[in-house]
Structure 1
Amino acid sequence: MTKRRVWTLQELATLIGADLEGDGDCHISGINTLQSAQPGDISFLANPAYQKYLPDTRASAVIMRADSREVFAGNRLLSTNPYLCYAKLSQVLDTSPAAVPGVHTSASVDPSVRLGEGVSIGASASVAAGAVLGAGVVIGPGCSVGADCEIGADTVLHANVTLYHGVRIGSGVILHSGCVIGADGFGFAPSAAGWVKIHQLGGVVIGDRVEIGACTTVDRGALDDTVIGNGVIIDNQVQVAHNVRIGENTAIAGCTGIAGSTTIGKNCIIAGAACIAGHLTIVDNVQITAVTFINQSIDTPGSYSSGTLATASKQWRRNAIRFGQLDRIASRLGVLERALEKKFSKSDTQAGSGTDKE
């Protein structure tokens, strides 16, 4: 069990760049929500909807904006961005066990593998021939690192991550348990005898400071590489197909599927369960809302949505029938519009051809 360190409130204020109001010697050893915090914990208020819990919180200190200070009489860390301060503080107070440098006796590491200083390789992990692991790399228990993979400094593979051959990963990357990077893309050619497999000859290139969630798959390219840019964050159970390219600092939430050869720009935000068809291009700074289906390229930044909101099933069935009638309704409307235009055009002509009698 990892022992929690005790910090003074002044130390934490300095580390996260917040302004202290209160007792700088107050001891803090944990972080929790306003509702669940106990003495010794610090909490935060980022969403105004939770301000109602502020007067009764037992937290020893709270991170908040200055305009909420009157609601809480205790120790305060003031910031214009409490949520960012919370993110920084979570790193400081993290109690995850530290990796121990060295190679576990049950691990299998090919003699040709190049290991940087301070590398940690866990129990039953396997690292194949020609792999290069930078300084401080952590390979968790049960991981499989394929031949000729390159992993940058301080990258962490949690338990049971699989890298196929020839995968290249940058520095400071985090891959969570169950990730599969570099599996074959879904490529088959039809023939009279059945499907003929197209061997995937490309690789996967992942930039620096990328985080990929549990059980997410990133397929290798058919010919060119599948590429994930610096600073990209990808949630759990996301499918990234072959030859997809994802620009820097894009965020992709859980259960999203991205079909092959689609390019996504920089600084995009893709919400959960979105479905993006293949061979598309999405420009920088696009936001795609949850459960949206994108079937054509997007060339203008902004927010995009599709689908309908949930309603009672009885109403939904009626709406579904109406959706099926939209094409016929549009055709009938077009006929009516043309008839009206013809009628008004004829009336205008007749009115213009008349003469006034005195």
Structure 2
Amino acid sequence: MSAEHLSQEEIDALLRGHAAGADWSPVRSALAAALSRAWEGAKALFGVPVQVGELEVREVAGAEATAALGGGDAVWARIPLDDGAAYAYVLLDRPLALGLVAAALGTEPEADLSATGAGVLSEILSQLSGRTLADVLVEAGWSAQVGGVEVLGPDQAPSQESLVGFVHTVDAGTARGSVMLALPAAVARRLRGGLEPEAPAAPPAGAGATPRSAPAPGPSSAPAPPREAAGASGPETGRPAATPPTVAYQPAQFPELSPSAAAPPVRNLDLLLDVTLQVTVELGRTTKQIRDVLELGPGAVIELEKLAGEPVDVLVNGKRIARGEVVVVDEHFAVRITDIVSPVERAGSLGRQGSG
């Protein structure tokens, strides 16, 4: 090692040694809760209950991640953050990857991951690892955009990057193995900073000191009875003790507060009239299995849940405000409003969304 220059390998080793004593429990706890929610929702996708093991933290370089997972053949995938400004990685045992794809498609596991299987695996990991990471970013106050998961080839896996890996086992019927959600050290540190509880503010200097000139009041502050009275009452042993003098007090008096003039209502609504709102007309929705989506092609028909002739919903910034019927105006589709959603109905729909 040169006294003036360090190689990249030496720098990475020093960084890993510095991070070895770090406390990743805030990130581990947040990821464990988010993973539990994500895999719980995967029961409908795989058709079997999914068991997830406890998270273990392992700090490794990219080239060592496969060995940390168990040393077998593994599949790498990456999750872009903020359009590729940073990446998180998912590493899972190849038999587990093939088993998850087969469970989602309802087929037997393939011998190797095909292009179709890689696409299905990307969708599965987007629903699981991508959703988990997005939930933790929100909890940490990090407004990064999480992109779709991309399955990497053998020569695309990171090798020199320092990673903080969170490893857990998955048991989904015939699909069993280990999964690692690996975060670059800088991303993991930023998440930890957002998830750590804030330390209580220190009290101002001198606030806890007790003034010497103001001793705490106590029972001894009452005036002692005169010695003559005590001596005179000596022969009468059955006489009760003298009652201490009553301290006179008055309730505190506060001046009346004059009512302040109410602030005039803001009437500058004209300032908001030029704000752009996103208006969307929703024709209908439906749900499809991954198998059906992959089989779509030109000429395929998707049947929606909305009946023919049923009013369509008009959404403003994602909130339904009206219903209407589809018409054609100058060769353009349009909507004739037939019903405005009442405030009561809007409040009810918000309540249902919150409970869901």
TM over 0.5: no
TM-score if structure 1 supplies the norm length?
Answer: 0.20
TM-score calculated relative to the size of structure 2: 0.20
The structure with higher relative contact order (CA 8 Å, sep 6+) is 2
Judging by fraction of residues, say which structure has more strand: 1
